[in-house]
Structure 1
Amino acid sequence: MRAVLFDLDGTLHDRAAGLVAFVRDQFIRFGIDPKQLNRFVSRFIALDANGKVWKTEVYSQLIKEFELMGSPTVEALVKEYLGLYPGFAMPMADAKYVLEILKTRQIVVGIVTNGRSDLQRSVITALGFDALVSAIVISEEVGVRKPQREIFDRALKKLGVSAAETIFVGDDAVADIEGALNAGLYTVAFHCVAPEEVTSTNTLREVLQAIDSRFDTHHLATGNAA
């Protein structure tokens, strides 16, 4: 093994927590009735569907359901989301620690994520991950999405490694685990149901242990990947 690829949202980036913090802040600034705060947050999260629904649709529905100060347009709310959300981004517990450890061991690391390029790159930069990885592959930039094999192939090419010597870590059973397996990578499942042959983990420290088990311990000790 020479390389590790990570999913971003739900794996390195605690998108759920960051999104709640952003939505609460937005409603506090725009909401007219403070008693509606929790319902607004719940509706946003439900409509967002874990990032699978773009914000134009989310805000279009919210504007119909809630009275907002100044009657902001959908376009204005989406623009604010794109501009402000990265400031609310939160790393998953131990994310930077794991990336830093892998970097010191000279294991090449990359991020493969679905989503908008501008938003995902802003989040990666805000979290400080850009300085810790050698490649970032975003679906909007390459024109293919996980679980399609090509997006994994693009990441492998950027890192200069083969699928057989790369581990993929992700939290989506289909997009991450099934997709990576079909691309020939060894996989580590993070907080998701996975096939029996796949290592399942609940913390990033457990992920690091799973990664360690796939690397030659002598090389890890000397800082060189097997």
Structure 2
Amino acid sequence: MNHFKGAELYIDNVESWEVDTMIKAVCFDLDNTLLDRDRSLHSFLVDQYARLNMFHHVKKDLFMNRFIELDDRGYVWKDSVYETLIREFYMDGHTVEGLLSDYLLHFQNHCIPLGPVEEVLGELRAKGMLIAIISNGYHQFQSDNLRALSIHLYAHTILISESEGMRKPDKRIFQSIAGKMGVQVEECVFVGDHPINDVKGAKDAGMTSIWLRSEGYSVPDHADAIIDQLQELLSVLSEMEQ
């Protein structure tokens, strides 16, 4: 049975899972690792533009491109993005709070997985691996996105930075998730798209780090392995276990 407890999601009777390999847990980033954030955001923006008349004096492509630029891969929170859009596009009478509320309410309806996420997670669980998620971001928003993709059904532990009071690449959040699963950091693999927040952060904490290649980033020197698609993870893990 799955439960939310504070910032984490856990599964009862984890001790009954049998793991015979040195790798006992596979931990994942969320955005642009399990969640195809680029496609999800595009889908949301198409929908928001269509629903809200405030944007219609601005061409859709201009609105969407400017939003994506300001968003900076999700590293700029949307209150700042909408504040700039309101100012630049003269959307008088509309508030940052209203637009942000719309984003928080509707984005989860546009979540698209990055590849065969449930298939990969299902295979990992079938092999007896513990599965964990570490995501920087706001707890309720990221929790809604995890549920939208059904990822919470596969994860033993989920840590979201807002609730933890620390963010990747702080090595303490990686060490914390290993402790919550009852394994050593050396027995964990971390998979993520960001060379610093994910790959270096996990490596500094003592985990094996796997970089999911992402456009716009240089290849990190500290990655133990590099994959181009999520489904390649299974073969990489098999090789590591030999």
TM-score by length of 1: 0.91
Counterpart residue type for residue 68 of structure 2: I
What SS does the corresponding residue of 2:151 show, helix, strand or coil? Answer: coil
Unpaired stretches in structure 1, ≥5 consecutive residues: 217-226
State the shift of 1:52 in Å: 1.0
Secondary structure of 1:49's counterpart equals: helix
* C-alpha distance in 2 between matches for 1:215 and 1:169: 16
Structure 1 stretches of 4+ moved >2 Å: 65-68
**Partner residue, 2:183:** 161
SS in structure 2 at match of 1:136? strand
Q: Is the 8 A contact 2:209 2:223 kept in 1?
A: no
CA apart distance, 1:214: 2.2
Partner AA of 1:206 in structure 2: E
Deviation at 1:196, TM superposition (A): 6.5
Asked if the contact 2:199–2:222 (Cα under 8 Å) also holds between the matched residues in 1, the reply is: no
Q: Find the residue that maps to 1:13 and give its secondary structure.
A: coil
On the 8 A contact 1:93/1:204 being kept in 2, the answer is: yes
Q: Structure 1 residues 24 and 207, CA, compared in 2 at 3 Å: closer, same or farther? A: same
Once the two structures are aligned, what percentage of the paired residues are identical?
35
Gaps of 5+ in 2: 1-22
Name which of 40, 56, 76 aligns with 1:53. 76
How far apart are the structure 2 equivalents of 1:143 and 1:10?
Answer: 22
Q: Which residue identity does 1:58 align to in structure 2?
A: V
CA distance in 2, matches of 1:147, 1:197: 14
Out of 188-197 and 164-173, give the one that drifted further.
188-197
Q: How far, CA to CA, are the matches of 2:233 and 2:68 in structure 1?
A: 27
Give distance in 1, aligned partners of 2:223 and 2:114.
Answer: 25
Query: What displacement does 1:96 show?
Result: 1.1
Partner of 1:202: 228
The structural deviation recorded for 1:212 is 2.0
Select 2:66's aligned residue among 43, 47, 59.
43
RMSD: 1.4
Aligned partner of 2:122 in structure 1 is: 100
- Residues 89-128 of structure 1: matches in 2 within 5 Å? 89-128=111-150
Quote the residue 1:171 is aligned against.
Answer: 193
In 2, Cα distance between equivalents of 1:117 and 1:56:
16
- Per the normalisation by structure 2, the TM-score is 0.85
Q: Matches of 1:10 and 1:104 in 2, distance apart? A: 24
Q: Tell me, what secondary structure is at the counterpart of 1:17?
A: helix
Amino acid paired to 2:191: V
Residues 139, 145 of structure 1: 8 Å contact kept: yes
CA distance in 2: counterparts of 1:41 and 1:82, whole angstroms: 17
Q: Is 1:64 matched with 2:64?
A: no
Indicate conservation of the 8 Å contact 2:116/2:230, yes or no: yes
Aligned to 2:207: 185
Correspondence list, 1:72-87, <5 A: 72-87=94-109
- Report what 1:144 is aligned to: 166
